[in-house]
Amino acid sequence: MPTVLAILAEGFEEIEAITPIDLLRRAGVEVTIAALAEGIHVTGRCGLTMHATTTLAAVPFTTYDCLFLPGGPGVKHLRASERVRELVRTHFDAGRLLAAICAAPTVLHDAGLLEGRRFTAHFSVAEELPNLLSEHRVVLDSTILTSRGAGTALDFGLAMVEQLCGQETAGRIKQSISA
């Protein structure tokens, strides 16, 4: 069973976190939700509070099949975390999937992983990431999967399912939620 570590910081964008997590779990993926801060309750930008599985500090420094970073105003906390940078680098070096949506590709940029790669992100970070492909909803370049924002969260989540579980499973999940 594929494994995903989703890291939530205060101010995360709820749709960008919940939609992919829901789709991954429908596909049978084991998703660990780790709160960046000390407690296991994390409040998103619209005031919804998620109950995380654990805290990031309590997660063993192991490699999951995918490291998932939702966007939103909370990305500033992800960017400030040395632990997050270490995990991003470890996953990249191991050839594991890195998935970042909205402003979260800036975390990958900070780790030096976007140079010479195709990627997208939210228009609000276009000045910082001038090479982003703004017309694309989801971009996969090797093991880096990026997406634009809340409006592309469903496409992004299905792309994660496809990368981890295959095209057939992604198609089945897509059909099951479209009926």
Annotation marks residue 102 as catalytic: yes
Give the helix, strand, coil percentages of the chain, each rounded to 5: 40, 20, 40
Q: Which of 46, 66, 102, 165 is catalytic?
A: 102
Q: Going by C-beta distance under 8 Å and a sequence separation of 6 or more, which residues neighbour residue 26?
A: 161, 173, 176, 177
Check: CB of residue 28 under 8 Å from CB of residue 90.
no
Q: Smallest Cα–Cα separation from 146: which of 123, 115, 108, 120?
A: 120
Would you state the torsion angle of the CA atoms of residues 71, 134, 27, 107, taken in this order, to the nearest 10 degrees?
-40
Q: Smallest Cα–Cα separation from 44: which of 72, 7, 76?
A: 72
Phi, psi of 84 (to 5 degrees): -65, -45
Known catalytic residues are: 102
